[in-house]
């Protein structure tokens, strides 16, 4: 089949275009879990910081002194 014929076929995906899938190793899974835990901890700390900054900005000026 020529390249033009292949390109003309609607919704055709050649095997080389399909994503390659493989199972993660135990080490990769552990690393992913560590990374997710670190990201979650950072997110909680960042949300706390933003919430405190917002609360401080929302307080009347006299209360901040």
Q: Which residue has the tokens 């909680």?
A: 44
Average pLDDT, the chain: 85
Region for 21 from its dihedrals, namely left if φ exceeds 0, alpha if ψ lies in -120 to 50, beta otherwise: beta
pLDDT at 28: 98
Distance CA 36, CA 60 (A): 38
Q: Is the pLDDT of residue 64 over 60?
A: no
- Between 9 and 60, residue with greater pLDDT: 60
Which pair of structure tokens corresponds to residue 19?
A: 């994503």
């Amino acid at each position: 089949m020529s390249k033009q014929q292949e390109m003309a076929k609607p919704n055709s995906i050649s095997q080389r275009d399909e994503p390659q899938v493989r199972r993660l190793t135990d080490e990769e899974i552990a690393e992913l879990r560590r990374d997710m835990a670190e990201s979650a901890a950072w997110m909680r700390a960042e949300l706390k910081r933003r919430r405190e900054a917002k609360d401080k900005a929302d307080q009347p000026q006299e209360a901040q002194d």
